[in-house]
Structure 1
Amino acid sequence: MIKPWNEWDLDALVAHTRLVGFDLDNTLANSKLPMKPQMVSRFSELTRRIPVAVITGGRYSLVVSQILDVLQDRAILENLHLMPTSGTRYLRWNGHEWSCVFSHDLDADQRARAAASLERHAREQGLWFEHVWGERIEDRGSQITFSVFGQQAPLEAKQAFDPTGELKERLARAVADDLPDLKVHAGGYTSVDVAGRGIDKAFAIRELAACTGIQVADIVFVGDRMTPGGNDYPAAEAGAMGVAVSCPADTIRFVDGLLERLPEWHPEQPPRQA
């Protein structure tokens, strides 16, 4: 089930929620930028109330710069689950550092074929622009990502590029024909991702449930692309409770509602953990 953030009955939602998951870009933070202080304080506090996951198409270094580098000291890292590159990697805090629970990397041949196909079809379809911001094709190990305007493009340019998603979908279809052994899908506003077959946020949610022992139906997932075809939609298709937001400001309001209802943690009590 998917509902906008302000249409959920939060009392009923909190009653059987055991983990809250979030998309990153345009959900917790603006694209490629750190969480703002208002989000940092709420996100940090939420980790003291309930297990929290971040599932993003971005690579781990972005999770570090956008979330970990700005978290407050009071955040409980043991309650945080990190799943970058669409859940192809899973990291947990072991008390000293972030350790990798699993990683589903593509092999060298798969990565090379994916990059070559993305470039060829982008050029053929007029999507290989002369001026871009940053890297155009990024090798994330477990995922190859093509960004039309580059990885560091401003949000305004990305949002204005392809509002219907038609151009990204056309590129994704062409690349998919070249790579029958891999999964190709339109990702963010201007990106197309290539990963192993069956890898999306539905896969991530199911893996998270298996690793934590929490039922998928008891997981809330918050994202800004919760409509069919959006890269957050598979999380709800997997059975998680989908919360649709349009920007980090919506997420702040939703988290405020959770914090009003989730019991506070006290130092003499262990935090709720997955």
Structure 2
Amino acid sequence: MPTATVHAWNDTGWRHDGAHARLIAFDLDNTLAVSKQPMKPDMTVRIEALTELMPVAIVTGGGRELVISQVLDVLGPRADLSNLHVMPAGGSSYYRWREGAWRLEYERTLSARDRDAAILSLTRRARELGMWPEHPWGEPIEDRGSQITFSALGQLAPIEEKRRWDPDDTKKRRLVAAVAGDLGHLRVRAGGYTSVDVSAGNTDKAFALRELAGRLGIGTGDIIFVGDRMTPGGNDYPAAQAGAIALQVTGPQDTVRLCDILLPLLGGEPVRQDG
């Protein structure tokens, strides 16, 4: 895929094009919420306000259960769920609110054979490279149906430990290369701070945005995508390569401040500070 332009969230260079956006898409972990934790009230009220204004997508490497616990369970009645698009497991599945329930629109589920092969390769290669955790926080391997995820410290590791484990992504790149050599027909990519994901071929956040744009009748250039891992090789970077207006944040605190720019820019009302 081609290189892409990524803007810092507080740059001004993206705002002219951003004012004409027709959809706002967000990564989840460390963008809307701290890893595995629910969104805080200041974020929640801003996401609710955005859903009143236009379509909003959550595109995350995490599973559907995490989207529920981190986002959906904390949204209040103000949120327009019909404007919310949920794309977990790196966009390999997609849910919309229809007729009072979340309906599965598509899912690129891995076959049992591919899931077994992915688990075997991730386990074997992580052990060979000295990355298998002896005392993990939670399970090192998670089967998300459409995606197998290896977490080098376990699924529930503290965010501070995750950030320290592989700050320059060197370890994850080595593991990705080794596993990709075993699973040539599947997509192997670095996920979050400590994770490597295996999914069906060509499924990533670029795939997710193209699918969503096609279903909504818009272009990928009409989408603002907000994420914390926007450098080449990061799991949010494919969204920029797909042509979205790519905005990089360093954490949820930046995203709150970005939403305070987006709401009036897109014709909405600023969030009251007591909201």
Shorter-chain TM-score tier: over 0.9
1:2 corresponds to 2:6 = yes
- For 1:43-54, list aligned pairs within 5 A: 43-54=47-58
Question: Does the 8 A contact of 2:19 with 2:265 survive in 1?
Answer: no
Residue aligning to 2:84: 80
Judge which range, 6-15 or 91-100, deviates more: 6-15
The reply to whether residue 30 of structure 1 matches residue 34 of structure 2 is yes
Q: CA deviation at 1:261?
A: 2.5
Contact 1:78 1:95 in 2 (8 A): no
Counterpart of 1:204? Answer: 208
Following TM superposition, by how much is the alpha carbon of 1:164 offset from its aligned partner in structure 2, in angstroms? 1.0
CA distance in 1, matches of 2:12, 2:70: 27
Provide the residue aligned with 1:150 in structure 2. Answer: 154
Q: Which residue of 2 aligns with 1:70?
A: 74
Alignment of 1:258 onto 2:262? yes
- The answer to whether the aligner puts 1:235 opposite 2:236 as a matched pair is no
> Does residue 20 of structure 1 match 2:18?
no
The aligned counterpart of 2:226 is 222
Secondary structure, in 3 states, of the residue corresponding to 2:172?
A: helix
Structure 2's unaligned 5+ residue stretches are 270-275
> What letter is aligned with 1:239?
G
Contact 1:58–1:85 (CA under 8 A) maintained in structure 2 = yes
1:197-245 deviation per Cα after TM superposition (whole angstroms, max 9, x unaligned): 1111110110010111111111000000000000000001010000010
CA contact (8 A) 1:168 1:190 kept: yes
Residue of structure 2 equivalent to 1:131: 135
In the alignment, structure 1 residue 166 sits paired with structure 2 residue 170:
yes
TM-score normalized by the length of structure 2:
0.94
Structure 1 residue matching 2:116: 3-state secondary structure? helix
Equivalent-residue separation in structure 2 for 1:61 and 1:167 (angstroms): 27
After TM superposition, the score normalised by the length of structure 1 is 0.95
Deviation at residue 96 of structure 1 after TM alignment: 1.0
**C-alpha distance in 2 between matches for 1:177 and 1:249:** 39
Using the TM superposition, give the Cα deviation of residue 9 of structure 1 relative to its aligned residue in structure 2, in angstroms: 4.4
Cα distance in 1, alignment partners of residues 88 and 82 from structure 2:
17
Q: Distance in 2 between matches of 1:248 and 1:13?
A: 23
Give the number of aligned pairs.
265
State the alpha-carbon separation in 2 of the partners of residues 264 and 26 from structure 1: 25
Retained in 1: the 8 A contact 2:133–2:154?
no
Cα distance, 1:122 vs. partner? Answer: 0.7
Cα distance between partner residues in 2 of 1:190 and 1:261 = 35
CA–CA separation in structure 2 for the residues paired with 1:188 and 1:232 = 9
Displacement, 1:260? Answer: 2.0
Letter aligned with residue 73 of structure 1: P
Query: Partners of 1:214 and 1:124 in 2: how far apart?
Result: 45
Q: Identical aligned pairs, as a percentage?
A: 55
1:185 aligns with 2:189: yes
Please give the alpha-carbon distance, in whole angstroms, between the structure 1 residues aligned to 2:74 and 2:17: 28
Specify the alignment match of 1:98 in structure 2.
Answer: 102
Unmatched segments (≥5 aa) in structure 1:
266-274
8 Å Cα contact 1:10/1:258 also seen in 2: no
Aligned counterparts of 1:125 and 1:22: Cα–Cα separation in 2: 33
Check the 8 A contact 1:19/1:219 in 2, yes or no.
yes
Contact 2:24–2:223 (CA under 8 A) maintained in structure 1: yes
